[in-house]
Amino acid sequence: MIDEFPRVRFAPSPTGYLHVGGLRTALYNYLFAKHNNGKFILRIEDTDRNRFVEGAVENLISSLKWCGLEYDEGPDIGGSFGPYMQSMRLELYSKHAQELIENGHAYYCFCTPERLDALREEQQRQKLPQAKYDKHCLHLSKEEINENLESGIAKVIRLNVEPNHKIVFSDIIRGRVEFDSNNVDDQVLIKSDGYPTYHLANVVDDHLMKITHVVRGEEWLSSTPKHVLLYDFFNWEKPEFAHLPLLLNPDRTKLSKRQGDVAVEDYRAKGFLKEGLINFVALLGWNAGDDKEFYYMNELIEKFTLERVNKAGAVFDLDKLNWLNAEHLRKKSDEEILPMLKEEIIRASYDMSKFSDDYLLKIISTMKERVSFVREYLTKSPYFFEAPTEYEQSSIQKNWKEETPEQISKLYDAFTKLNNPTKEDYEIALAKTAEELNIGKGKLIHPLRLSVSGISTGPGVFDLLVTLGKEETLKRIKTAIGKIKI
Indicate whether 202 belongs to the interface with ligand GLU (CB under 6 A): yes
Nearest-approach distance from CB 45 to ligand GLU, in angstroms: 4
Nearest-approach distance from CB 57 to ligand GLU, in angstroms: 13
Nearest-approach distance from CB 133 to ligand GLU, in angstroms: 22
Nearest-approach distance from CB 126 to ligand GLU, in angstroms: 32
Among 6-14, 175-183, 229-237, 307-315, which window interacts with ligand GLU (CB under 6 A)?
A: 6-14
Q: How many residues bind ligand GLU (CB under 6 A)?
A: 8
Indicate whether 12 belongs to the interface with ligand GLU (CB under 6 A): yes
Nearer CB in complex with ligand GLU: 32/198: 198
Nearest-approach distance from CB 9 to ligand GLU, in angstroms: 7
13, 325, 366, 372: which one binds ligand GLU (CB under 6 A): 13
> Rounded to an integer, what distance in angstroms lies between the CA atom of residue 486 and that of residue 484?
7
Q: How many CB atoms lie within 10 A of CB 61?
A: 19
Amino acid at 384: F
Residue of 257, 270, 401, 483 with catalytic role? 257
Site for ligand GLU in 181-200 (CB under 6 A): 198
Nearest-approach distance from CB 217 to ligand GLU, in angstroms: 7
Indicate whether 262 belongs to the interface with ligand GLU (CB under 6 A): no
Among 8-16, 137-145, 147-155, 394-402, which window interacts with ligand GLU (CB under 6 A)?
A: 8-16
Indicate whether 243 belongs to the interface with ligand GLU (CB under 6 A): no
Per-residue CA distances from 285 to 69, 185, 275 (Å): 19, 31, 18
Nearest-approach distance from CB 202 to ligand GLU, in angstroms: 5
11, 23, 137, 159: which one binds ligand GLU (CB under 6 A): 11
Indicate whether 211 belongs to the interface with ligand GLU (CB under 6 A): no
Q: How many CB atoms lie within 10 A of CB 195?
A: 18
71, 84, 179, 220: which one binds ligand GLU (CB under 6 A): 220
Indicate whether 21 belongs to the interface with ligand GLU (CB under 6 A): no
Nearest-approach distance from CB 56 to ligand GLU, in angstroms: 11
257 is catalytic: yes
Question: Is residue 434 within 8 Å of 470, Cβ to Cβ?
Answer: no
Nearer CB in complex with ligand GLU: 202/212: 202
Indicate whether 203 belongs to the interface with ligand GLU (CB under 6 A): no
Report CA torsion sign: 111, 112, 118, 120. Answer: positive
Question: Is residue 248 within 8 Å of 37, Cβ to Cβ?
Answer: no
Nearer CB in complex with ligand GLU: 34/213: 213
Q: How many CB atoms lie within 10 A of CB 315?
A: 15
Nearer CB in complex with ligand GLU: 313/458: 313
> Rounded to an integer, what distance in angstroms lies between the CA atom of residue 393 and that of residue 375?
25
Site for ligand GLU in 34-93 (CB under 6 A): 45
Indicate whether 216 belongs to the interface with ligand GLU (CB under 6 A): yes
Indicate whether 29 belongs to the interface with ligand GLU (CB under 6 A): no
Q: Name the strands in the sheet holding 156-159, side by side, starting at the edge strand that comes first in the sequence.
A: 106-109, 156-159, 188-190
Nearest-approach distance from CB 191 to ligand GLU, in angstroms: 15
With a CB cutoff of 8 Å and minimum separation 6, the contacts of 101 are 107, 108, 157
Between vectors from CA 467 to CA 360 and to CA 349, what angle results, nearest 5°?
40
Among 9-17, 230-238, 322-330, 466-474, which window interacts with ligand GLU (CB under 6 A)?
A: 9-17
Among 7-15, 53-61, 257-265, 395-403, which window interacts with ligand GLU (CB under 6 A)?
A: 7-15
Nearer CB in complex with ligand GLU: 56/434: 56
Among 5-13, 92-100, 303-311, 366-374, which window interacts with ligand GLU (CB under 6 A)?
A: 5-13
> Rounded to an integer, what distance in angstroms lies between the CA atom of residue 427 and that of residue 430?
5
Catalytic residues: 257
The binding site for ligand GLU (CB under 6 A) comprises: 11-13, 45, 198, 202, 216, 220
